[in-house]
Amino acid sequence: MSVLNKKTIEDLDVAGKKVLVRCDFNVKMENGVITSDKRVVASLPTIKYLLQHNAKVILCSHLGRPKGQVNPEFSMAPVAECLSKYLGIEVKLAKDVVGESAHELAASLKDGEAMLLENVRFEPGETKNDPELSKQFASLAELYVNDAFGSAHRAHSSTAGVADYLPSAVGYLMQKEIDVMGKALENPVRPFVAILGGAKVSDKIGVIENLIEKCDTLIIGGGMAYTFMRAMGYSVGTSICEEDKLDLAKELMAKAKEKKVNFLLPVDNVIGREYKPDTPFMQIFSDAIPDGWMGLDIGSTTQELFSKSIIGAGTVIWNGPMGVSEWENFAGGTIAVAKAVADSGAISIIGGGDSAAAVKKLGFAEKMTHISTGGGASLEFLEGKELPGIACIDNK
């Protein structure tokens, strides 16, 4: 079933209706103060659309991990304040999630007004996707909108269960994630280049297996490359290498050959003495890594090789840095690849928490088509898994 067929808020008739909106307001907080309100800001287009179309908007989200217990430390109060500031209207906070206060406030909402429920994870049924809680959420509203992509891989009451009892649609944030990543996976503009890196093969097996079926070129860098090199018979010194994944690496390389996927591994590397930012380093070809040294980045010949394949791409999906990009001496490969992706003119998609952080930190964020907001959710999406928070939404 295609994910591209889901109803969006624009398919709903929201005027005069109570609309329950699951957002991702899991903001960064320190001592009760929001230190980054990016997630609130990102949610505004969906909320504003609903308000402008005279809906009665009931917002909800989780915040932190209160583990099914009411805990003032995880109250949504700062979020309600932040929303009020950005929307220019008072967003009242219910004292509970689905209790008396929530019902009273919801009943008193006028068209074009918004309220916020308390932290959905105050309810023990939330993470268990308890049908009783889902029904209680549904009883607050007439329509359900899910705009929390970062939680879409979890089947919880407010992210999935509630959709069993209400007509539903996705919000703008969710829609963009689905549109860009869904199209890339279902019907990519070719050539389709997948770039995978990061620490371990074992974290990315599902992603490699799914993308190998779809892409024209598969580029492997980062720590995971050393397991593949080892499988090819090279010695990799003290590089991060998963000995128990050598057979899998061989199978994946055979699969790439069978599918006629252009499979690229680093031909040279920046190696270091120790896993430390200021360790002595040098550049060396992949068949000559000495004992007692570890690969911490791709080398300059590899940068050129990878960049050449990326420049002509129609679609690029990138997950996982090319080296230990947190450290200046080992960030060169990730910077070069980011530059190639940015200049490629391809539809470019960055998935994965560390990859997104690297691209932002290195200053390439504006040049990418899409940086997925969900770490775990985007990985599962790239693995080709059905995400409960998307699957539950009505089709057009």
Residues making contact with ligand ADP (CB under 6 A): 197-199, 203, 222-223, 240, 295-296, 319-321, 323-324, 326, 352-355
Q: What is the DSSP string of 251-311?
A: HHHHHHHHTT-EEE--SEEEEESSSSTT--EEEEEGGGPPTT-EEEEE-HHHHHHHHHHHH
Q: Measure CA of the first residue to CA of the last residue in the chain; give whole Å.
A: 12
CB of 200 to Mg ion, least distance (A): 10
Is 200 annotated in the active site?
A: yes
Q: Which of 200, 259, 273, 385 is catalytic?
A: 200
Q: Which residue, 320 or 389, has its beta carbon nearer to ligand ADP?
A: 320
Q: Tell me whether residue 154 is one of the annotated catalytic residues.
A: no
Cα 248 to Cα 253: distance, rounded to the nearest angstrom = 9
Q: How far is the CB of 39 from Mg ion (least distance, A)?
A: 18
> At closest approach, how far in Å is the CB of 347 from ligand ADP?
19
Phi, psi of 27 (to 5 degrees): -80, 160
- From the candidates 17, 39, 154, 204, which is the catalytic residue? 39
CB of 378 to Mg ion, least distance (A): 11
Residue 39 designated active-site: yes
The total of other beta-carbon atoms located within 10 Å of residue 86's CB is 15
Catalytic residue among 353, 360, 375, 384: 353
User: Which amino acid belongs to residue 156?
Assistant: H
Please tell me the distance from the alpha carbon of residue 224 to that of residue 202, in angstroms, as a whole number: 8
Min dist. Cβ of residue 262 to ligand ADP (A): 22
Residue among 182 and 352 whose Cβ is closer to ligand ADP: 352
Q: How many CB atoms lie within 10 A of CB 31?
A: 6
Question: With respect to Mg ion, which residue has the nearer C-beta, 182 or 198?
Answer: 198
Structure-block tokens of residue 312: 């002509």
Beta bridge mates, 194? 218, 317
- Three-state DSSP at 146 gives strand
Phi-psi region of 97 (alpha: psi -120 to 50; beta: other; left: phi over 0): alpha
Contacts of 211 (CB under 8 A, 6+ apart): 194, 196, 218, 317, 382
* Active-site residue flag, 333: no
| Closer to ligand ADP by Cβ: residue 182 or 198 | 198
Per DSSP, 387 falls in state P
**Span of 45-53, 79-87, 262-270, 350-358 interacting with Mg ion by CB under 5 A:** 350-358
Q: How far is the CB of 335 from ligand ADP (least distance, A)?
A: 13
For residue 236, what are the CA distances in angstroms to 231, 266, 284?
A: 10, 12, 11
Residue placing its CB nearer to Mg ion in the complex, 354 or 380: 354
The site string for Mg ion over 352-381 (x = CB under 5 A, - otherwise) reads -xx---------------------------
DSSP-based helix, strand, coil % in the chain, nearest 5:
40, 20, 40
* For ligand ADP, the closer CB: 139 or 369: 369
HSE at residue 365, side-chain half, CA atoms within 13 A, is 11
Positions in the binding site for Mg ion (CB under 5 A): 353-354
Any idea which residues carry the catalytic annotation? 39, 200, 353, 376
